Structure formats: C-alpha cells, structure tokens
Chains A and B, each alone.
Chain A
Amino acid sequence: MNLNRINLGTSILLGCSFASGVISSYYLGQVLTHLDSEEIYGLVGFCVGFPLLALILANVNETIKKIMIFASAAMAIVGSYILMLGSPNTVPVLKLDTIPVLMYFMALAGHMSLFTMGSAEVLRRAREMDYLWLGVGMAIGCSSVGIVVWTSIFGWLYMIMIINYIVPVAILVYFLFYPEGKEGEMIMRRPQTKEVVRQFVVPDTWKGGKITFYTLIAAFSALATAGVGGMAMPHEDYFTSAPWFWSFAAAGAMAAAVVAKLSLGKIIGMPTGIKKEFKSNIAWLVLGCVQGASVILLVTVEFYVPGYHLSFASGLIGGAILGFNVVAYMAVLSVQHPPRSNYAFYMFNTYFIMFAIALASYMRAINVDITEFYALATEEDYILYILGGLAIVLALLVVNQVITIAKTARTARDVPSIAPKPAEVPR
C-alpha cells in the first residue's frame, strides 16, 4: 500500500475543498445584503441542513461517504451552472433572482460539506501521515484562493467557473489514489474505527467544554482576520489585496504544520493514558494561548492603531494568523478526538471554520467607511465587549487546561516513561 499516494489524494482534496468553500463564499456577503426575507430560509436550509445531513450519512460507511463526496460536488456544480447562466457578472454583486440565489446557496452548501469531508479525510489519518501533509493541503488551498479571487476582476462568475475546475480535479485525484477494493476501504476506514481510536484517545473528561471554547477562538480568528481585516475596504481593492492576504495565509498554514509536527507529532502516536493527556494538554495550552492572544492583539491593533487597518502589513499579518490558527486548530483536533466516531467529530468542528469564513464575507460587505469603522471602537463600546468576551473564552480554556494539567502532572511523573509507540501502519 503506497501511503504517499493516499496522503497526496486526501491532501489535495482538503486543499481544493477549502479553496472552493472560501472562493464560493467570497461574495456571499454582497448577495446577502440584497436578500429577501424568504430567501433566508433557503440559505439556512442549504448551508446548515445539507452539511448536517452529509455529516450523518458520511459516517455510515466508506461507500456512502464516497457517494456523499460525489453528491456534494454535484450539488455545487449544478448550482453554480444555474447561477452562472442566470445572473449578472458584476462586482459588487447585484440583486439576484430567487432561483439563481437559491442555486447559489445550494452550491455553497455543497462546497461547505466537501470541505468538512476533505478535512475529516486528512485528520482521521493524521496518526499515519505527517502533519506537513495537512500544511501542504491547506497551503495549496490558501494559494488557490488568492489566485482565483484575483480573477473576479473580470466578474465574480469567473471565480465560480474556476471552482468548477478545482472540485472535479480534486475528486478525480482522490478517487484515483483511493486504495483498491474492499480491502482498500477497510484500510481507509481503519483509523476511525473505535478499536483503533480507543487506543489513542486522550482520556480527558473535560475535553468537550475545552473544544467548545477552542472552536470559538478558532472561528473568531477566521472572522477577525478575513472579516474585520476587510471591513471598509473598497470592492476594487479585493482583487489586489486577496493574493497577498491568502499567500501569507498559505505561509501561516505551513508554519502551523511545522509547529504541529514538532509539538504534537510524537504525542498523537502515544497510546492512551495519563501521560498522553498531560503532554497533549500542555501543547494545546501553548497553542491555544498563542492563537487567542494573536486574535485579541490583531483586533486591538486594527481598531485602535490609526493607519494600520487596510494597510499592506494588516493584510499580510492577518493572512498569516488566519492560516496558522486554522491549521493549528485542525492539528489539535486530530489529537483530541472522542473515543469513537472521530470522522463526524472532525466534520462537525471544521464546519465552524468554513461558517466563520462565510460570515466574514458578510462583515466585508457591511456598508461602513473608514471613519465609521474607527467609530465602532472610539464612539461605541462594541469592540471592548467583543474583546472582553474573547478574553473570557480564552481564560476559561486556559483555566480548564491548567486544572487538567495540574491533576495529571503528578500521575504522569509517576508513570514510567514510555517511548511513543509508532502508529500501526498497514503494509
């Protein structure tokens, strides 16, 4: 079994599905500003309902999961065709008719669920592959976003057309590299079976709460970088700023993959036990603090340092923080999975990242100028409340982790040091 082929196939699927999700939601905000009230039901039904349905079905078995990957891609392509043939190709996006707008939401839902499945494909195999594959996949995705968003200079439907190349190519590579036969399916599914997962799970009873806080930080990070960072930006600047922003997101993603390899690379292969709980929580605490602090700092600088918002440095730093935080979040998830059904767990949690990026496009579309943007911080107290809320979430995460680390420290010291057991790799 050539594992590099599987690694390549799954990483490309992840990267391309991330790119397609971000690109298709790039002008969602402008569509939402013209939305009729009844069309909101379509948005909720497609973009929340379908990923949830995909989550349930993709967990049944490998064949149904492959069909769900197909179904999501088909929805995305069919929806985008009807959108392209019935909508004006303008930036900013004009009001769309009801059918094209519903088809747009259907396409977006397909891309969102593809991303959740793409990330679950990589993360369930994280023990058997290097974290660098995760970084490479996300870096491919981020770079693609930068390039493709630039093409919207010719109209936003060109972007949608290019996604229709990206998705089939990713699925083609994925299926070509998918191991043969029923045996292949068993090999692919094996890392998520409860027999295997149970051997490597982190036995932490507070994990659910901590993951909730951590997901809030990661989602807010995406919202702050891709959303707040682009507020009050003239739409003509989207085309030129996006390549820089997303190329630095790719660099941030690779940096996070290297950090994850150094900090979590050995821990993920350790057998379950107190020692694993202790070590993984220390790594998680450090990463969580870095991520939370970077977001709080970024939002503070954006609002309170005159001239920083919409500057070149703002785009570069924001992009790097986005890439770093998303990949670090995914790496931590790959270690902190539940004792069963980790595929659904990955799909569920990574959905919030894509949801936050889609919401970020709405923030970019809010009609404020630069004076009104700064007024949000100087004349109103909104930003202080948001920063305070984020600081509380980070504090709760830190307190929970410190308690867990303190509880496990003594026992972990007493347990004889076991060399990390390499994950069982099928030959």
Chain B
Amino acid sequence: MFDGSNPYKPGPYQSDTYKPSGYAYKAIAHQLNWSTYIPRGAILANPGLPSAPRLRTFYFLKGNGDVVFICWNANGDIPTDIAFSMPADGVDVFSAPSYKPGLATNYAVENITGGITIRATIGFSPTIFVIDMKSTASPTAVVIETIFNFYDASLLVIVPCLVGLCVIVFVVKERKRGRADRQVEKL
C-alpha cells in the first residue's frame, strides 16, 4: 500500500510532506474493518498551553471495543513526553525502528484504580498503541495530560508582567514629566 510504485498511494496529510501516512491509516483501518474513525477521540487536556505537545493523532475503535491510538510528534526530531490514562487492562505498543511486537522501549505502563496510565516518549516516527479496553468500559477519549511548566509560565505570565511593568514605569515617568512641565508653564 505504501510502496512508491502504487499509483493510489495516499497523499500528504495536511501539507505535512514528512508524513504521507494520514490517509493511509484511515485506509488501513477501513481494510481491517476497524470501526469508526473518530477525529476527537484523542485530545489534549489543555491545548491552549504554549508547551502543549504538537502531535498528529489518529484514533480508531476495533470491533471488540479496543482502541487503536496512533501519534507522532509534529515538532520533528526532539521527542516529547506524553501521558494518558485509560480504563484498560493493558496495552501493546509498536514503535520505530522495527514496529515488531514487544520491541518498543519508548513507553511505561502503570496500573491505577480502574485502569492504566501510559507514559511514552513520542518522536517523529509514529507510535502505535493498541489499548486492551476493559470489557465493561465504554469508548473513551484519549486525553493527553499537559502540565503547566516554565515555558508556559514565561509566555503567559512572566513576560507579559515584565512588559506591563515596563509600560507602567514609562507611563508614570512620562506623566510626572508632563505634570512638572505644566507647573513650570504656570509659573
């Protein structure tokens, strides 16, 4: 399907020439009879934070209710760490370079009450999570945690405060000057 000689090879995904696989995943899902492609199945907890990872994500539901979650870092070579929790019994992860079962090393799973928390380091090559959902669980969105860090604090709080302080100092000093000038004019 991905062979260069295939005239029906999928085109680039949203002008992302490095990843021609966007439509391909949908095509695979269709062929494997994975159920609905759900665009909002994977979301960031706080997408507005400047440090929120820039991920390309795909979310599919298999016939048995398991979730197939595919993502990669649109930021390029510098890996980004993500974490999300699901009401699941376990997860199989497939990642670069081999994509063979059991060889992925870029993730860790922690058992929590009612499910698991998955932490992974996401690089430029897609990582595929096949999440074994609990039989009682209903389809759940993958909500990727985002933490308010120094980068966010800088851009959202500290730098605007510094700039505001500069403006205040400038305005106060200029007003003082205006007042003094008016007094001199009166005299």
Residues of A in contact with B (beta carbons under 8 Å apart)? 63, 66, 70, 73-74, 77, 81, 84-85, 88-91, 94, 154-155, 158, 161, 164-165, 168-169, 171-172, 175-176, 178, 180-182, 184-185
Does B77 make an interface contact (CB < 8 A)?
Answer: yes
Asked if residues A180 and B173 are in contact (CB atoms below 8 Å), the reply is yes
Q: With the chains together, A235 CA to B75 CA distance in Å? A: 17
6 inter-chain pairs at a CB distance below 8 angstroms, sorted by A residue, are: A66-B170, A155-B78, A165-B162, A168-B162, A172-B162, A178-B173
Does B50 make an interface contact (CB < 8 A)?
Answer: yes
Question: Given A165-B159, A168-B166, A180-B173, are A88 and B76 also a contact pair (CB < 8 Å)?
Answer: yes
Q: With the chains together, A178 CA to B151 CA distance in Å? A: 31
Asked if residues A171 and B166 are in contact (CB atoms below 8 Å), the reply is yes
Asked if residues A85 and B163 are in contact (CB atoms below 8 Å), the reply is no
Q: With the chains together, A161 CA to B154 CA distance in Å? A: 8
Residues of B in contact with A (beta carbons under 8 Å apart)? 50, 54, 74-78, 151, 154-155, 158-159, 162-163, 165-167, 169-170, 173-174, 176-177, 180-181, 184
What is the chain A residue whose CB lies nearest that of B80?
A: A89
Question: Given A89-B78, A180-B176, A182-B177, are A81 and B155 also a contact pair (CB < 8 Å)?
Answer: yes
Asked if residues A77 and B169 are in contact (CB atoms below 8 Å), the reply is no
Asked if residues B180 and A181 are in contact (CB atoms below 8 Å), the reply is yes
Residues of A within 8 A of B154 (CB): 161, 164-165
What is the chain A residue whose CB lies nearest that of B74?
A: A88
What is the chain A residue whose CB lies nearest that of B15?
A: A97
Residues of B within 8 A of A158 (CB): 151
Asked if residues A77 and B75 are in contact (CB atoms below 8 Å), the reply is no
6 additional contacts, CB 8 Å, given A84-B50, A88-B74, A168-B162? A70-B167, A77-B159, A88-B54, A90-B76, A165-B158, A178-B173
Asked if residues A168 and B50 are in contact (CB atoms below 8 Å), the reply is no
Which residue of the partner chain, among A84, A164, A181, contacts B177 with CB atoms under 8 Å?
A: A181
How far is the CB of B11 from the nearest CB of chain A, in Å?
18
**7 closest residue pairs by CB, A with B:** A90-B76, A168-B162, A88-B75, A164-B159, A181-B177, A181-B180, A175-B169
Question: Given A81-B155, A164-B154, are A180 and B177 also a contact pair (CB < 8 Å)?
Answer: yes
How far is the CB of A180 from the nearest CB of chain B, in Å?
7
Residues of A within 8 A of B173 (CB): 175, 178, 180
How far is the CB of B106 from the nearest CB of chain A, in Å?
18
Residues of B within 8 A of A165 (CB): 154, 158-159, 162
Q: With the chains together, A180 CA to B172 CA distance in Å? A: 11
Residues of B within 8 A of A164 (CB): 154-155, 159
Asked if residues B159 and A168 are in contact (CB atoms below 8 Å), the reply is yes
Q: With the chains together, A176 CA to B158 CA distance in Å? A: 19
How far is the CB of A185 from the nearest CB of chain B, in Å?
8
Q: With the chains together, A94 CA to B184 CA distance in Å? A: 58
What is the chain A residue whose CB lies nearest that of B181?
A: A182
Asked if residues A161 and B166 are in contact (CB atoms below 8 Å), the reply is no
How far is the CB of B74 from the nearest CB of chain A, in Å?
7
Asked if residues A90 and B78 are in contact (CB atoms below 8 Å), the reply is yes
Q: With the chains together, A154 CA to B80 CA distance in Å? A: 11
Q: With the chains together, A96 CA to B84 CA distance in Å? A: 30
Q: With the chains together, A73 CA to B180 CA distance in Å? A: 28
What is the chain A residue whose CB lies nearest that of B177?
A: A181
Q: With the chains together, A232 CA to B176 CA distance in Å? A: 55
How far is the CB of B148 from the nearest CB of chain A, in Å?
15
Which residue of the partner chain, among B170, B177, B184, contacts A70 with CB atoms under 8 Å?
A: B170
Residues of A within 8 A of B165 (CB): 168, 172
Asked if residues B166 and A172 are in contact (CB atoms below 8 Å), the reply is yes
Asked if residues B162 and A89 are in contact (CB atoms below 8 Å), the reply is no
Q: With the chains together, A70 CA to B171 CA distance in Å? A: 12
What is the chain A residue whose CB lies nearest that of B173?
A: A175
Q: Which of B78, B166, B174, B180 counts the most chain A CB atoms within 10 A?
A: B166
Q: With the chains together, A63 CA to B170 CA distance in Å? A: 11
What is the chain B residue whose CB lies nearest that of A156?
A: B78
Asked if residues B180 and A175 are in contact (CB atoms below 8 Å), the reply is no
Q: With the chains together, A88 CA to B17 CA distance in Å? A: 14
Residues of A within 8 A of B163 (CB): 73-74, 77, 168
Which residue of the partner chain, among B77, B151, B176, contacts A90 with CB atoms under 8 Å?
A: B77
How far is the CB of B62 from the nearest CB of chain A, in Å?
32
How far is the CB of B79 from the nearest CB of chain A, in Å?
11
Q: With the chains together, A158 CA to B149 CA distance in Å? A: 13
How far is the CB of A173 from the nearest CB of chain B, in Å?
10
Q: Which of A85, A165, A169, A181 counts the most chain B CB atoms within 10 A?
A: A181
Residues of A within 8 A of B50 (CB): 84-85
Q: With the chains together, A168 CA to B169 CA distance in Å? A: 12
Asked if residues A161 and B162 are in contact (CB atoms below 8 Å), the reply is no
Residues of B within 8 A of A154 (CB): 78
Residues of B within 8 A of A171 (CB): 166
How far is the CB of A61 from the nearest CB of chain B, in Å?
13
Q: With the chains together, A154 CA to B174 CA distance in Å? A: 40
Residues of A within 8 A of B158 (CB): 165
